[in-house]
Amino acid sequence: MTTATESNSAAHNSPATKFPAIANPTAEKSSDIASNINYHAKYSPHFSPLKFEPEQAFYATAESIRDCLIQHWNETYLHFHKVDPKQTYYLSMEYLQGRALTNAIGNLDILDAYADALNKLGHELEEIAEQEKDAALGNGGLGRLASCFLDSMATLNLPAWGYGLRYKYGLFKQRITKEGQGEVAEDWLEKFSPWEVVRHDVVFPVRFFGHVLVSNTGSRKWVGGEVLQALAYNVPIPGYKTKNTNSLRLWEAKASADDFNLFQFNDGKYESAAELHSKAQQICAVLYPGDATEDGKILRLKQQFFLCSASLQVCCQTYMDIIARFKERREGKGPWKWSEFPSKVAVQLNDTHPTLAIPELMRLLLDDEGLGWDEAWDVTTRTIAYTNHTVLPEALEKWSQIVMRKLLPRHMEIIEEIDKRFMAMIHSSRTDMESRLSSMRILDSSNPQKPVVRMANLCVVSSHTVNGVAQLHSDILKSELFADYVSIWPAKFQNKTNGITPRRWLRFCSPELSNIITKWLKTDGWVTKLDLLTGLREFADNEDLHAEWASAKMANKRRLAQYVLQVTGVSIDPNSLFDIQVKRIHEYKRQLMNILGAVYRYKKLKEMSPEERKKATPRTIMFGGKAFATYTNAKRIVKLVNDVGAVVNNDPEISNYLKVVFVPNYNVSVAEVLIPGSELSQHISTAGMEASGTSNMKFSLNGCIIIGTLDGANVEIREEVGEENFFLFGATADEVPRLRKEREDGLFKPDPRFEEAKQFIRSGAFGSYDYNPLLESLEGNSGYGRGDYFLVGYDFPSYMDAQDRVDEAYKDQRRWLKMSILSTAGSGKFSSDRTIAQYAKEIWKIEECIVP
Ligand code: GLC
C-alpha cells in the first residue's frame, strides 16, 4: 500500500495527467473510471483539491458509481412510468443498509474495473471501501431483513420501493469500557452520505394534534394542530446484474421558512422563534427514543405516523397520476375508480410499527377523496398486508388511547369505528366467537385508567394477509397468538420463511469462498439461483475441495483475527475453533447461557493438568451485539462477557486453549468480517421465542456449523443441511410451557455444572461487580421477565453436552470440513430472492418489470 502522502502526489500529479478529470457516468473501462473519479475529486469539491487521501478517494469513488446508478435509476423510473405496473410500498421503521460501495460496484458487476481504476490512482478498493460509515438505521434482524429484501426486489426486477425514516443519529454506536456498554450517537451523516439524493420536489405535509371539524353534511375533516413537512431523500438500490434500480426513500421532517418567527427572533426569543424547526428535528433524530415519559411516547407515535402519512400520500398521488395518464391515453374508456387502487398498489407493513398506515389510508379515502366507509374499507383491506416478526409481548405494541386521541384525533375516531364494526360482525355472524371478543378487540379499555389500542389486532383485522417469518413461527401465530382470528379468516394467514441476500452475505463478503464455489459448480449462477448450491453435495468428500475450502476459511479467519486485534487488543489464534454469537443482546437469545458455558469451560481447564489440557479443543468464543440502552439485564450480560474475557484472556496458563472476546459495535460491516471467518455459531434461543433469525442463515451459507435449539428458522436450516450437520440441543417449543410450570412450582433440579458456573462467578473470579441480580434472574419462574422464564437452567446440561460433541467433531478436520461444505450446500432455500418471489406472487400480486 502506498502511504497517504505518496498517494496524494500519485493521484494529483502524475495520474491526474494520465487520467484527466472527465465526466463519464457510464464508464466501464478502468481508465475511464479513473477519469470519472478524478472528475468528482476535482469538481465536487467537498475537500481541498490538493488532497486525495483514502477519505477523499472514497467520496469521489462513491460519486462516480452514483452517476451510473442515477443513469439506471432514471431509466427504471421512465420505464415504470410507461408500463404502470402494480407497485409495492414496503413500510419499515428500520433499515440496516450497512455500507453501499462494494455492494453497488458488485451488483453493477464492475468490481475488477473499479479496483483497477483505484490502483491507477494509487489506492486499494478494499481500503477505500473501509472509509464508508455504515447506514445503521435499524436495531436488528427486522431492519437487516428489510435491506436484504430491497436487494432482492431490485434483483428480481420488481417494482417495489422501501420507505423509512432518515434518522440522523441512528440507534446508537456501542462503546465498551470497564463499566460495560456505553452509547454514543451514530455519525453516518456527520459529513454527508454520498448515496442519498434529496428530492426537493417530493414534499408532503404531515399534521399532528388539532381537531376534527364536522360539516353540515356530516363530513369530517382534520384541521389545526402542528403541520410539518416530509422531505424525501432517495437512496438508489441497484439489482444484481440488471439495469433495474429501485429506491429506498427516507423521509426527513422539516419546518418551512414561514414557520420561522422573525419577529420573535429579533426580539431575542431564539428558541420559541424556531420552535417548529426544533420539533421537526426531534422526529428524525434517533430510532426508538426512550418512551418512559409521555413526551417520549408522543415522539415515537409521531415518528410512526410521519412515515405512514408521507408514504401513503405518495401512493395516492402516484395512483392519481396513473389515473390521469390513463385517462389521457384511453380517452373514452371511462375513468378509473378508487376501487381499482389495490390493483396498482400493495402496502406491506414491516411489523406493527407502521400500523397507522391503516387509519391514515382510510382517512385519505374518506375525508380527502370522499369515499363512503364501505368502499374505503374495501380498498384499504385489499391494499394492506402485515408481517409479524415476534411473539414477544413487549414488541406487540399497545398505544394509549389518550395519547392517540390527542396526537391523531381523526385516526382515533377511525380506529373506534373499525373496532365497532368488527364487534358488530362478530355479534351478527360469528356468535360462536363472542366469548373471545374481548381479547380480539382492537380497543382494550379493561383498565379504565389506561385504555389502549392493540396495534397487532388492528393489523390482523385490517390486512388481507398476515404472515410469520419461519414455518414454526407462522404455526405458533396460527395456533396461539392469532388463533381466534384464524377461525374467522383461515385463508388470511401465510408463512414466508425469511431469507438473506447471497450477494452481500457470500459473494461480496467472502470472494475467496465464492470463487471456489463457482469453480466447482462451473457456474456463478448460484448468486441469483441459490438452490444451485446443492450441487456441492457431490463433492463433500473430495479432498481437493477440502483443501481449497480449508484455505479460504483460514484466510477469512486470519482477516477476522486481525480485526479482533485491532478493535479489542486481544490476540486470537486462527487455529482455534472460532465460535461466534452475534445478535441483539436479549435474555431470550440466551447469551447468558453461552457465557456460563464459557465460564464452566474455563474452570475445567484450570483444574486440568497441563497434559490433560493439551487434549482440549482450543476455542475462541466471540460475542457481539447491542443491548437496548434501558435494558438493565442485557447490559449486565455485556459487562459479564467483558469481565470474563479480561480474566481468561490474560491467564497465561489458559491462553492457548480459550479466549473470550466481545467485539464492540456489532453492525453490518462487522458482520461481514465475522461471518466468513466463523466455524461454529450459536443460535440458542428458548424454543418458540425467536421468530426466525436471519444471521443463522448467513452463517450457514458461509459454511459455519450451527449449535442451536429447534427454534425459528433453525428448524428449516437443520432440515436442509441435514441433522448430522447441526448440533441440536434443548427443549422443544411444545415442551416449554410444561417446563416453565415445573420451574414455577419448584420442581426443577439444576445440573451441577450450572450451579458450579454460577458459583464461580459469585466467588468473584471475574471481579467485584455484583452479578447477583443477574444470576438471580436464573432462579425460579414467576412469569415473563421474572426468574428463569427463558429456561437457561433447564437447557444448560444439554447445551453443554452438545458443546462436547462440537469439541469432538472439530478434532476430526475432515469430518468438520464435510459438515461445513454441506452447510453451504444446504443453504439455497434461504435466499431472500426466494422469499421475495413468494411475497410478490402470493401476497403483493406484482410482477417483474424489466428495464430494457
Ligand atoms: C425480528 C425477530 C427475528 C427475525 C427478524 C426478521 O428481529 O426477532 O427472529 O429473524 O425479526 O424477521
Q: What is the CA radius of gyration of the chain?
A: 28
The Cα-based distances of 510 to 126, 244, 519, 717 in angstroms read 13, 25, 14, 21
The answer to whether 619 and 707 have CB atoms below 8 angstroms apart is: no
CA of residue 332 relative to chain centroid, distance: 47
| pLDDT surpassing 80 at residue 3 | no
Catalytic residue, from 86, 601, 698, 718: name it: 698
| Average pLDDT, integer, range 664-692 | 98
Beta bridge partners of 385: 348, 465
Q: Whose alpha carbon is nearest atom 6 of ligand 1?
A: 142
| Statement to judge: residues 10 and 129 lie in one domain | yes
Regarding the beta carbon of 499 and ligand 1, being less than 6 Å apart is answered: no
DSSP 8-class letter at 531? G
Grid coordinates representing 771 are 452479578
Look up the domain containing 324 and give its range.
Answer: 91-98+134-498+838-844
Average pLDDT, the chain: 95
Let me know if residue 762 belongs to a domain.
yes
Q: Which amino acid is at 362?
A: M
User: Is 620 a residue of the active site?
Assistant: no
CA 317 to each of CA 112, 307, 367, 463: distance values in angstroms, whole numbers, following the listed order = 42, 16, 15, 22
Region 683-702: mean pLDDT is: 98
DSSP string for residues in 487-525: HH-GGGEEE----B-HIIIIIIT-HHHHHHHHHHHT-SG
Say yes or no: 121 and 186 in one domain: no
**DSSP code per residue over 694-734:** SHHHHHHHTTPEEEE-S-TTHHHHHHHH-GGGEEE-S--TT
The C-alpha atoms of residue 369 and residue 182 are separated, in whole angstroms, by 49
779 domain residue, yes or no = no
CB atoms within 10 A of CB 535: 17
Q: Which residue has the cell 415504470?
A: 80
Report the separation in Å between the CA atom of 615 and the middle of ligand 1, taken as the mean of its atom positions: 39
- How large is the angle between the packed helices 409-429 and 455-462, nearest 10 degrees? 60
What would the grid cell of residue 449 be? Answer: 385508567
Give residue for cell 371478543.
437
Q: In a mutational test of the pocket of ligand 1, which residue from 142, 666, 695 has the highest number of ligand atoms less than 8 Å from its CB?
A: 142
pLDDT score, position 5: 39
- pLDDT at residue 330 greater than cutoff 60: no
pLDDT at res. 48: 78
Is residue 437 located within the same domain as residue 553? no
Q: Active site residue: 694, 709, 824, 835, which one?
A: 694
Cell readout for 373 is 366507509
Element (H or E) spanning 97, and its range? strand 95-98
What CATH number is attached to the domain comprising 419?
Answer: 3.40.50.2000
Tell me the H-state helices in 408-510: 409-429, 437-440, 455-462, 471-476, 483-488, 502
Q: How far apart are CA 510 and CA 552, in angstroms?
A: 9
Assess contact for 570 and 671: CB atoms under 8 A.
no
Q: Which residue would you say has higher pLDDT here, 334 or 184?
A: 184
What is the C-alpha separation between 591 and 611, in angstroms, rounded?
Answer: 31
Give the whole-angstrom CA distance, residue 485 versus residue 845.
23
Q: Are both 550 and 643 inside the same structural domain? A: yes
CB neighbour burial string for 701-722, b if at least 16 within 10 angstroms, e if fewer: bbbbbbbbbbbbbbbbbbebbe
One domain for residues 485 and 341: yes
What is the Cα–Cα distance from 467 to 459, expressed in whole angstroms?
Answer: 11
CB 166 within 8 A of CB 155: no
3-state secondary structure of 725: helix
Which residues on adjacent β-strands are paired with residue 444? 452
* Residue whose C-alpha cell is 391515453: 329
Does residue 444 sit within a domain? yes
For residue 692 and ligand 1, the question of a CB distance below 6 A is answered with yes
Q: How far is CA 492 from CA 147, 376, 386, 482, 842, in A?
A: 26, 20, 10, 11, 11
In a domain, 47, yes or no: yes
Nearest CA to ligand 1 atom 3: 693
Say if 746 falls within a structural domain.
no
Asked whether 581 lines ligand 1 (CB < 6 A), one says no
pLDDT at 180: 97
The dihedral built from the CA positions of residue 506, 511, 517 and 521, taken in this order, carries a sign that is positive
Output phi, psi for 712, to 5 deg. Answer: 50, -140
CA distance 290 to 287: 9
CA distances from 683 to 333, 824, 835 (A): 58, 17, 21
Length, in residues, of the chain = 852
787 in a structural domain: no
Q: How far is residue 797's CA from residue 800's CA, in Å, rounded to a whole number?
A: 5
Both 570 and 701 in one domain: the answer is: yes
Confirm or reject: Cβ of 389 under 6 Å from ligand 1. yes
How far is the centre of ligand 1, averaged over its atoms, from the C-alpha of 589 (Å)?
11
Active site residue 427: no
pTM: predicted TM-score of the whole model, two decimal places: 0.97
User: Is residue 743 assigned to a domain?
Assistant: no
* 698 in catalytic set: yes
- Ligand 1 contact via 140 beta carbon (within 6 Å): yes
389 counts as catalytic: yes
The finding on whether 500 has its CB within 6 A of some atom of ligand 1 is no
Nearest CA among 557, 564, 447, 448 for reference residue 510: 557
The x, y and z cell numbers of residue 210, run together, are 388539532
State yes or no: pLDDT of 45 exceeds 90: no
Q: What are phi and psi of 68, to 5 degrees?
A: -70, -40
Residue 332 has pLDDT above 90, yes or no: no
Alpha helices in 217-293 (DSSP H): 262-266, 270-273, 275-283
Ligand 1 center to 832 CA (angstroms): 14
Within its chain, how far is the Cα of 23 from the centroid? Answer: 36
Residue 335 has pLDDT above 80, yes or no: no
Q: Are 805 and 707 in contact (CB under 8 A)?
A: no
At position 676, the amino acid (one-letter code) is P
**Catalytic: 123?**
no
Mean pLDDT, residues 7-27 taken together = 69
Return the closest-CA partner of residue 486 out of 466, 458, 470, 459.
Answer: 466
For ligand 1, pick from 587, 626, 694 the residue to mutate: most ligand atoms within 8 Å of CB.
Answer: 694
Query: pLDDT digits over 68-124, tens only?
Result: 999 999 999 999 999 999 999 999 999 999 999 999 999 999 999 999 999 999 999
Is residue 142 domain-shared with residue 125, that is, in the same domain? no
464 and 562 part of one domain: no
Residue type at position 596: L
583 counts as catalytic: yes
Pocket test for ligand 1, best of 96, 389, 505, 696 (most atoms within 8 A of CB): 389
Residues 6+ apart with CB under 8 A from 202: 231, 232, 249, 314
Distance of alpha carbon 623 from alpha carbon 142, whole angstroms: 20
Per annotation, catalytic residue among 492, 584, 613, 834: 584
Bridge partners for 495 per DSSP: 468
pLDDT tens digits, 541-591 = 999 999 999 999 999 999 999 999 999 999 999 999 999 999 999 999 999
Shared domain for 126 and 169, answered yes or no, is no
Question: Following DSSP, what letter does each residue of 339-366 receive, concatenated?
Answer: GGGGGTEEEEEESSTTTTHHHHHHHIII
Low-confidence winner among 394-398, 639-643, 750-754, 755-759 (lowest mean pLDDT): 394-398
CB atoms within 10 A of CB 428: 8
Q: What number is the average pLDDT over the span 282-302?
A: 95
Give CA–CA dist 699/506, Å, rounded: 10
3-state secondary structure of 602: helix
Residue ranges of alpha helices (H) inside 727-831 are 736-744, 752-762, 772-776, 792-811, 813-825
Q: How far is Cα 783 from Cα 764, in angstroms, rounded to an integer?
A: 29
Report the pLDDT value the prediction gives residue 17, as an integer from 0 to 100.
Answer: 65
Calculate helix-pair angle for 792-811, 752-762, nearest 10 degrees. 100
Q: Residue 356, exposed/middle/buried by CB under 10 A (0-12, 13-18, 19+)?
A: buried
Question: What's the CA gap between 698 and 702, in Å, rounded?
Answer: 6
| pLDDT given at position 46 | 84
Same domain flag for 413 and 542: no
pLDDT interval class at 6 (50, 70, 90): very low
β-sheet bridge partners, residue 771: none
| 390 CA to centre of ligand 1 in angstroms | 7
Active-site choice (86, 99, 123, 389) = 389
% of the chain exceeding 90 in pLDDT:
93
CA distance 250 to 234: 6
Helix (H) or strand (E) holding 235: strand 226-238
In the structure, what pLDDT confidence band is assigned to residue 4 with cuts at 50, 70 and 90? very low
- Is residue 542 located within the same domain as residue 604? yes
User: C-alpha cell of 614?
Assistant: 493439551
DSSP 8-state secondary structure symbol assigned to residue 391: -
Number of Cβ atoms within 10 Å of the Cβ of 550: 15
Q: How many domains does the chain have?
A: 3
708 lines ligand 1 (CB under 6 A): no
Query: Same domain, yes or no, for 572 and 449?
Result: no
The pLDDT of residue 191 is above 80: yes
Q: Grid coordinates in use for 328?
A: 389521457
Q: Could you give the dihedral angle defined by the CA atoms of residues 301, 306, 308 and 309, in that order, rounded to the nearest 10 degrees?
A: 130
Please determine, for residue 774, whether its predicted confidence score (pLDDT) is greater than 70: yes
Domain assignment present for 672: yes
